[in-house]
Copies of this chain bind each other. A is one copy, B any other.
Amino acid sequence: MATGRTHRPATRSRGIPEATVARLPLYLRALTALSERSVPTVSSEELAAAAGVNSAKLRKDFSYLGSYGTRGVGYDVEYLVYQISRELGLTQDWPVVIVGIGNLGAALANYGGFASRGFRVAALIDADPAMTGRQVAGIAVQHSDDLEKIISDNGVSIGVITTPPGVAQQVCDRLVAAGVTSILNFAPTVLSVPDGVDVRKVDLSIELQILAFHEQRKAGEEHEGTAPPVAAHQDSSEQGPDGDVPAVMPA
């Protein structure tokens, strides 16, 4: 699924475009891999290939951070790892709570990617009394009655919601009221939050539906022969896969 964010288009974080921010973790991962192999420097071309992006885009992205490269040589891997980490705020500890310890919540609690980058699962919270006290990923599940206290005691500012959709909004409200200002939402619900609170959404069902759309399109296009690199332009002879009314008119 995809992602959506609650964000004001005007407030460009600090000159760093949102699209660039979204790619920084990608670069960081590639750089970390290089660092582990003790590679000292890397060119924009190589790094771009490793991250799966265009090299011009990568250079422009880095230019927003500053001039950290050396012309004729490339970028110092360790230095760049540090700069990106700092920019992303990963040099500090981020306590995170996960609310809703079902299958998905448990999976996230066990997910190694959290701890590896400054994120620490501070608490697991569930509304089911039967869950309270049970160990998941080595952490005891706490009851949601104590949500506010848990948030404030641990100084949590990031919350992950993996509850059923019906209670997601109310959990969200309580998290926000308790001081959480960033939310990662896995429930298939549109959350409404006050200004100043960021919400990112991960929706599995939506991701699949987008794939299905393209899949259907591919299936319906099978008269196109052997993959011509570019299909001219507006296909006027296009038809709905199941023979229905095409209905699409380009603006």
Contact = CB atoms under 8 A, between A and B. Distances in A.
Interface stretch (A38-46, A69-77, A126-134, A205-213): A205-213
B14 A248 contact: yes
B90 A209 contact: yes
Interface string A223-251: 00001111100110111111111111111
A218 B242 contact: no
Interface in A26-62: 26, 28-30, 50-54
B1 A3 contact: yes
A17 to B, nearest CB: 9
Contact of A106 (B107, B113, B188): B107
A243 to B, nearest CB: 6
A15 interface: yes
Nearest to A206: B25
Interface string A81-125: 000001111111010100000111011101101101111000000
A230 B10 contact: yes
A218 B181 contact: yes
Contacts of A117: 205, 208-209
For the side of the interface on A, what is the size category? 35 or more
B89 A192 contact: no
Contacts of A182: 211-212, 214-215
A242 B207 contact: no
Q: How many monomers of this protein are in the complex?
A: 2
A139 interface: no
A238 B88 CA distance: 16
A140 interface: no
Contacts of A245: 3, 5, 18-19, 22, 66
Contacts of A163: none
Contacts of A200: 1-2, 207, 210-211
A64 interface: yes
A91 B227 contact: no
Contacts of A231: 10-11
Contacts of A151: none
B25 A209 contact: yes
A239 B209 contact: no
Given A9-B243, A11-B234, A113-B205, 11 more contacts: A10-B231, A15-B234, A22-B247, A24-B213, A52-B250, A66-B245, A113-B204, A114-B204, A158-B211, A201-B241, A202-B204
